[in-house]
Chain A
Amino acid sequence: MSEEPKAVEKLQEKFPEAVKEVGEFRGQSWVVVPREDLLKVCEFLRDDPDLNFDFLSFVCGVDYFPREPRFEVVYQLYSTKTHSRFRLKTRVSSQDATVPSVTSIWPTADWHERETFDLMGINFQGHPDLRRILLPADWVGHPLRKDYPLRGPESIS
């Protein structure tokens, strides 16, 4: 847990432009970066010898409808060396809900990004195989969006 402030400081030092917002929740710090800087920030967090966030716990999407930018993509990181955690976020608007894929940095992101695409409708650019993972392949819409009707469009059943 004590490692996290160091991660924030290091990020601010290395990418002063990219770190838009910093916060802390229950002893765990988080940082918001623009999607243009996402990949290089992720690479730094993984490769820096002090931080060493070599494990991506999960990727998920959050819908803040009707606020804009509407979507937030959250990356929860863990270091198996220092046993510390870190949370990275990026925000995208509903018009252009596209985020670069981090599968090239953490291969485990593959299915997490597919799930986020399936249920939240966020496109991950550069993902090797961005298909639906939970819903049937011919499903229309993305059910975890706040404006999706609970029983589905027009009550298909």
Chain B
Amino acid sequence: MGVKGEGQGSVILTQLEWLVNWGRKSSMWPLGFGLACCALEMIATAGGSRFDIARFGMEVFRPSPRQADLMIVAGTVSKKMLPAVLRLYEQMADPKWVIAMGACASTGGVFDTYAVVQGIDRYLPVDVYIPGCPPRPEALLHGILRLHDMVQKGIARGASLRG
């Protein structure tokens, strides 16, 4: 945030940045798409009252990438699916974050074969990796909260703001 004013010190600058980051983390809207079994845990996290992602201002899974801030890569990315995933990511507005959910999205998992991308971080800047096969909803929520912390602290600033 490049706001500068007469007689206003760096304190206000810092606090405005804090405010913006607070806004970003408090209404981070995920993109509603899933690729494999991890997506079911994501749906349980998002849709069920038992885990209730709405507590963190995230219940609006957006059906359009234009309205989404967070891409949760939930599941195995096959090489045939990869172009579609990349296009969805490119269509998201900045700033945007990526969570690699589960073993497959993080590393390819057990599918060490010709057909599967060996970790989505070969193509997308991943902010948080969540282990598990699949991770339980608590693990996904924990990963999301870690991302919130990072956004609030300015560590994870969204791909376009990087370097």
A residues sitting closer than 8 Å to B (CB atoms) are 134-136, 143, 148-152, 156-157
Contacts and interface: CB of A to CB of B under 8 A. Distances in A.
Contacts of A156: 79, 114
B55 interface: no
A157 B80 contact: no
Given A136-B79, A136-B80, A157 B118 contact: yes
10 contacts: A134-B80, A135-B80, A136-B80, A143-B114, A143-B115, A150-B114, A151-B114, A152-B113, A152-B114, A157-B79
A12 to B, nearest CB: 43
B126 interface: no
Interface string B65-105: 00000000000000110000000000000000000000000
B99 to A, nearest CB: 21
Contacts of A136: 79-80
Contacts of A134: 80
B38 to A, nearest CB: 20
A7 to B, nearest CB: 38
Interface string B103-125: 00000000011110110001000
B79 A150 contact: no
Given A149-B114, A150-B113, A156-B79, 13 more contacts: A134-B80, A136-B79, A143-B113, A143-B114, A148-B114, A150-B114, A151-B113, A152-B113, A152-B114, A152-B115, A156-B114, A157-B118, A157-B122
A143 B79 CA distance: 13
A149 B113 CA distance: 9
Nearest to B108: A157
Nearest to A151: B114
A136 B115 CA distance: 10
Contacts of B113: 143, 150-152
Contact of B112 (A135, A143, A148, A151): A151
B112 A150 contact: yes
A157 B117 contact: yes
Contacts of B118: 157
Interface centre among B114, B115, B117, by most chain A C-beta atoms within 10 angstroms, is: B114
A152 B118 CA distance: 12
